[in-house]
Amino acid sequence: MDIQQILFIVLSAIAIGCALGVVFSRNPINSVLFLILTFFAISGHYILLNAQFLAVVNIIVYAGAIMVLFLFVIMLMNLNSDTEPQKNWLVQLAGAISGGILFLVLLSALVSATKTLPVMEQGSNDLGLIKNLGKTLFRDYVLPFEISSVLFLSAMIGAIVIGKKEDKFEDVH
Amino acid sequence: MLLLQIDWSFLLEKSVLILVIVLVSFGVAAYATWGERKVAAIMQDRLGPNRAGFMGLLQPLADGGKLFFKEEIIPEGSTRTIFILGPFLFMVTALMTSAVIPWGPDIHTAAGNVISLQVADINIGILFVFGVVSVGVYGIMLGGWASNNKFSLLSSIRSASQSISYELAMGLSLIALLMMSGSLSMREIAQQQHGFWDGHWLTWNVFKQPLGFFIFMVCAFAELNRAPFDLPECESELNMGYHQEYSSMKLGLYLFAEYINMFISSAVMVTLFWGSYNFPGMDWVAAHTNAIVFALICVIVLMAKITAFILFFMFIRWTLPRFRYDQLMNLGWKGLIPLALFNMVITGAAILWLFNK
């Protein structure tokens, strides 16, 4: 067993344990903290696959920015385990069934994927380094890349339009 | 046992380096508290701390001892684990950035070994710094929320929104620098600024990217929650801010980590913009001394630059008044981000047409 395998097992254990913690903790703040830990473990996996850029961007964007906003909302709403609304058993049953079906779909996808996908070569390639990634993004995939950035921009503008106060509109009339 | 093949000498070398860096950070931070009080005293025409030791030089030790022996109070309504986690997280993230900063040039020993004065030369060093900075806000946020105090909560929310807003401008201001350096590795950026004059232009990045440096510095002030952006600790509105409910060494960690942050961010600014450990005439010095002495001189030069920056931070704190919250957000979103984008376009155009790289 070499060090990569040990790291893989440790990281996987952390990722799965924290992901379960997200689902099972009663306090939403704890859920968010577990989710942040999960992101860190997944970033560790990216580093094992030599995708350093992806790992760091995962931390900056997800753990650093998006989860801060999550935490923001939960702190301001002051959600606690005792304020959590009690759902009736029908909703719980429906949730369990749909979740189970999703799990089956993912499981079958995973089982078929292991047969077809080639085994990822570890440690030797520099595929995930920022230079190669940049070249791939800005040469081979430049159009989808730019289109997705325009999509983000339009989403941002949409959020600003929705969030804007109406009273300024009346001044025009 | 050959279960794991680990290069033990490598591990030992790095451990010693990490230990030295952490201890130096603590020392600098401790004396930065003394320095801050002295600077404040000078600017306000007072004497400052002068009782403990010569010129009050033992004051940091006295302060530390006092904090250690204070009573630990964990408030009744607080969320205990997160309350304890907060200051530790803040301290850890404050120290973590030091791993990618090159503290000096490589030392080539007579035996042919190369000793690097950088803990980890990762090829995405700058992004690592950003990752740590963006995670650093959790220490304040969790501490403030777990205290179960409205002042602390408001303060931590202010701090988080301030950090997120200024991180954008900070990242954008660095893109222009990265376009010129072509590398994200701190070590390569440090090496590119070798000497002082390369025959055409000054080598230090601040002379190539003055606007980028200005934006980066303003953002660094905001990220550090230093005056004039110290709204999270605004006494007149929020009492003590996010560490209101903290006492004893947990409070000490918060206060201390702030100075460590100041030290490390000064080091980052020096490395990226002010020529790192390089100084004019370093080739001559390298030729006339042996490798270890040369490396030592480089480290001293780096430390001198960092000290100058820390002093600058202090002068600003005791000179400028605090921003109002809306002014802070306006400056970040409507002032610095467009300015950084403009800087990026100018740099791109210059590279394309003037230097034709």
Q: Tell me if B298 is assigned to some domain.
A: yes
Does residue B5 form part of some domain?
no
Q: How many Cα atoms occupy the beta-carbon half-sphere of A30 within 13 Å?
A: 14
* A and B: number of Cβ contacts within 8 A: 70
Domain boundaries, chain A: 1-77, 129-163
The Cα of B157 is separated from the nearest Cα of chain A by a number of Å equal to 7
B255 within a domain of the structure (yes/no):
yes
Structural domain includes residue B2:
no
Q: In a 3-state reduction of DSSP, which class is residue A145?
A: helix
Mutate to test the interface with A, among B135, B155, B156 (most CBs of A within 10 A): B135
The model's confidence at residue B206, banded by pLDDT at 50, 70 and 90, is confident
- With a pLDDT cut of 90, the percent of chain A lying above it is 19
Rounded Cα–Cα distance for residues B242 and B137 (Å): 12
The pair of structure tokens assigned to B357 is 């790289």
Structural domain of residue B212, as residue ranges? Answer: 10-355
Residues 153-182 of chain B whose Cβ lies under 8 A from any Cβ of chain A: 153, 156-157, 160-161, 163-164, 167
pLDDT value for A83: 57
| CA distance readout (Å), A60 to A127, A155, B118, B233 | 21, 20, 23, 25
Domains contained in chain B, number: 1
Of A3, A63, A72, the CB nearest to B160: A72
Q: How far is A108 from chain B (nearest CA, A)?
A: 35
HSE-up of residue B242 (Cα within 13 Å, Cβ side): 29
First vs last C-alpha separation in chain A: 75
Q: pLDDT tens digits, residue range A95-150?
A: 899 999 999 999 888 887 766 555 555 544 566 677 777 888 888 888 998 999 99
Selection from B330, B332, B309, B29 nearest residue B163 by Cα = B332
Contact A127, A134 (CB under 8 A): no
Query: Is B204 contained in some domain?
Result: yes
The H or E element that residue A9 is part of is: helix A3-24
**Alpha-carbon distances of B75 from A28, B140, B146, B245, B290, rounded to whole Å:** 21, 17, 9, 7, 57
HEC profile of chain B: CCCCCCCHHHHHHHHHHHHHHHHHHHHHHHHHHHHHHHHHHHHCCCCCCCCCCHHHCCHHHHHHHHHHHCCCCCCCCCCHHHHHHHHHHHHHHHHHHHHHCCCCCCEECCCCCEECCCCCCCCCHHHHHHHHHHHHHHHHHHHHHHCCCHHHHHHHHHHHHHHHHHHHHHHHHHHHHHHHHCCCCHHHHHHHCCCCECCCCECCHHHHCHHHHHHHHHHHHHHCCCCCCCHHHCHHHHCCHHHCCCCHHHHHHHHHHHHHHHHHHHHHHHHHCCCCCCCCCHHHHHHHCCHHHHHHHHHHHHHHHHHHHHHHHHHHHCCCCCCCHHHHHHHHHHHHHHHHHHHHHHHHHHHHHHHCC
Query: B134–A63: do the CB atoms touch at under 8 Å?
Result: yes
- pLDDT tens-place string over residues B3-58: 556 677 778 888 888 898 889 888 888 888 888 888 888 888 888 788 877 887 88
**For residue B107, is pLDDT > 80?**
no
Look at residue A82 in the predicted model and tell me its pLDDT.
Answer: 58
| Averaged pLDDT for residues B122-139 | 84
What mean pLDDT, rounded, does chain A reach? 80
From CA B176, how far away is CA A149, in angstroms rounded?
19
B17 lies in a domain?
Answer: yes
Is any Cβ of chain B less than 8 angstroms from the Cβ of A66? no
Within a domain: B278: yes
| pLDDT tens digits, one per residue of B53-64 | 788 788 888 888
Interface test with A, best of B184, B188, B337 (most A CBs within 10 A): B184
- Interface contact B130-A56, CB threshold 8 A: yes
% of chain B with per-residue pLDDT over 70:
96
Residue A1 pLDDT level (bands cut at 50, 70, 90) = low
**B9 touches A at CB < 8 Å:** no
Q: A33, exposed or middle or buried, with CB in 10 Å at 0-12, 13-18, 19+?
A: buried
Residue A56 and residue B272: Cα distance in Å, rounded? 19
In this predicted model, what pLDDT tens digit does every residue of B277-300 receive, in sequence order? 888 877 787 778 877 888 888 888
Does the domain at residues A1-77 carry the CATH identifier 3.30.720.110? Answer: no
Residues of chain A found within 8 Å of residue B148, distances taken between Cβ atoms: none
CB contact under 8 A, A60 and B134: yes
The Cα–Cα gap between B95 and B115 comes to 22
Q: Which residues pair with B197 in a beta bridge?
A: B202
CB contact under 8 A, A56 and B145: no
Cβ contacts of residue B25 below 8 Å, gap of 6+?
Answer: B95, B98, B260, B263, B264
The pLDDT of residue B298 is 85
Cis peptide before A85 (omega within 30 of 0): no
* Residue with tokens 């001559």, as numbered in its chain: B284
Q: How many Å lie between the alpha carbon of A67 and the closest alpha carbon of chain B?
A: 10
CA closest to B184 among chain A residues: A130
pLDDT in tens, B220-277: 888 888 778 777 777 777 777 777 788 888 888 888 888 888 888 899 889 888 888 8
Write down the pLDDT at residue B328: 85
Burial of A41-62, coded b for 16+ CB within 10 Å and e otherwise, reads bbbbbbbbbbbbbbbbbbbbeb
Euclidean distance between CA atoms A117 and A105, whole angstroms: 18
